[in-house]
Amino acid sequence: MSERAVGLNNKKKKGKRGCHSGMTARKMSHDGRMKREILQHKKGISSNDHNAPQSSRNQKCQETQKRKRCGLLVRRYDGAESDADGYVLYSGRQTTLAWIIDSGILLEKSKVSYMNQTRSGAMLQGRIMRSGIDCGCCGEAVTISEFESHAGSKLGLPLENIFLENDACGDDPNDDTCSICGDGGNLVCCNSCPSTFHQNCLDMQKFASGAWYCLYCTCKYCGHIGKDIYQENIEELKSSLLSCLLCDKKYHNSCIHTDDTMECVQDGLHFCGTKCREIYGKIDLLVGVKHELEDGFSWTLVQRCEVGENISSAEVTKKIGCNSKLAVALSVMDECFLPSSDPRSGINVIHNVFYSCGSNFKRLNFSGFYTLTLEMGDEIISVATIRIHGNLLAEMPYIGTRFMYRHQGMCGWPLIAVESVLRSLGVENLVIPAISELKNTWTPAFGCVPLEVSILNKMWSMNVLVFPGVDMLQKPMPDSQCTGDSKVHTEGLVLLMVVPLTSLIIQFLQLGLMTSGP
């Protein structure tokens, strides 16, 4: 048989097999349909119901079509308001400066200066307006870039070289409030800082001729601003003074006792004596640590912390826990007190106290404040702010409890916690401002007494927050000694490390949902 014949025979055989296979498949498909129809008939389901899934899809399609779809909607302006969402048409110029002013970040007509590259002098001054910058050279409102051009600069970096001037103080750089009593009037100005005082508050009959330096600018030991009293350069005199990290008092390193000089410097931090250094070290161990009380209560001492890069994960956890609790504690205090704004600077005093903000105005320098939170489970129900001025006294200007927990004895718990802290640190007295209607509550219930004259005279040399017309009370701290290094030795207190939800709070901080201070 030839090869061609063999090939034809093979094709015929393959064709038969393929035909047989196709018939078999059609027969199996037909049998399958028959079996499904029989099973559906037994279940009482008609074969026509095979269209049910298709009907369901049609119904879903109809429902979807009825829904309101996202489309391109154009506003119709028939007046001041647009449509039904209450949108009000903005009539001014949409500029960055207008947005900053409308957001309350800056006041209109705030003074700005275009600084030279060394930042040593202003090349041009102007005032911020919604329409631009009111240029000091031409008197017209110009853009930010034009303001740079009018200043004679070709750097093309206006935002990096235009600086805002603090015009809140006007032409007078000195304060208009006595740093001791908080009232105004006929004031004496310090030649070194903006602080001012009443002569009666200083208990001075007359001042020596020449420059006068206040108690905040002179050494706590020798009473002078510099060791060389004949030195005329004030900046060189001030450079010889150091500031204590705890009590913030000025001192000369040479005025400290020889045995204490080396002990008063710890990790590059300066202290005016060994007592301040020891107290600061103990406070640092207490910050961010949870202390259990009876009946399910606990308290934590917190302070605003900067979360840097080169720190351990444990430090990050601790600092984020402090910052998050501080934000919640501030909302509790806002529930208890009306906003208190300083009339000269306009700052919110309560917020600056909570976030321990500093200032070149001594009476507005709130650095060193700590916040104590009283908690029931995870809920903060009461807060108090304290600042320690060495071992002599500590101040507690604000203490408050949420409205829903008042008249339930909650105020006593944070006060007990504050007393425990002060006794462990060796602080002798707690100073509390009390308004007249609550003075009787503090005196018999919590053991407070009127401020002693000796304590009052020493307190004026400290930067204590005072309120005009408010009486100052004191609460002595008996047995204010600590037998340990870091634990609070009071019955019923157990130390537990705080373990906050770090990862979740980090996400909130990154999204800008948490409060960061003023």
pTM over 0.85: no
Helix 502-511 to helix 313-336 angle, to the nearest 10 degrees? 70
**DSSP assignment letter at 403:** G
Per-residue pLDDT of the chain (518 residues; tens, 9 = 90+): 444 444 444 444 444 444 444 444 455 555 666 666 665 555 554 445 445 555 666 666 666 666 666 667 777 766 544 455 666 777 777 888 888 888 777 788 888 889 887 776 789 999 988 889 999 999 899 999 999 999 999 888 888 888 887 544 445 678 888 888 888 888 888 888 888 888 888 888 777 777 888 888 888 888 887 655 555 555 566 667 888 888 888 888 888 765 555 556 656 688 888 888 889 889 989 999 998 888 888 999 999 988 777 778 888 888 888 999 999 999 999 998 888 888 777 888 999 999 998 887 888 899 999 999 999 888 999 999 999 998 899 999 999 899 898 888 777 888 888 998 899 899 999 999 988 777 777 877 788 888 888 888 888 888 899 888 888 899 998 764 443 333 333 333 332 323 233 333 343 344 333 333 33
Q: What is the 3-state secondary structure (H, E, C) of 416-435?
A: HHHHHHHHHHCCCEEEEEEC
Question: Which two tokens mark 201?
Answer: 């508050």
Residue 139 CB: number of other CB atoms within 10 A?
Answer: 9
Give the residue ranges of DSSP H helices in 208-302: 234-239, 274-286
The β-bridge relationship of strands 369-376 and 297-302 is antiparallel
Residue entry with tokens 């020449």: 210
Cα end-to-end span (Å), the chain? 104
**DSSP assignment letter at 348:** B
Whose CA is closest to 334, among 353, 357, 362, 358? 353
Cα 151 from Cα 154, distance rounded (Å): 9
- Give the Cα-Cα-Cα angle 342, 250, 194 (nearest 5 degrees): 35
Q: What is the 3-state secondary structure (H, E, C) of 161-227?
A: HEEECCCCCCCCCCCCCECCCCCCCCCEECCCCCCEECHHHHCCCCCCCCCCCCCCCCCCCCCCCCC
**300-309: long-range contacts at Cβ-Cβ below 8 A with a sequence spacing of 24 or more?**
300/325, 300/372, 300/373, 300/375, 300/498, 301/370, 301/371, 301/372, 301/421, 302/326, 302/329, 302/370, 302/371, 302/372, 302/373, 303/356, 303/369, 303/370, 303/371, 304/354, 304/355, 304/356, 304/517
Cα 207 from Cα 55, distance rounded (Å): 100
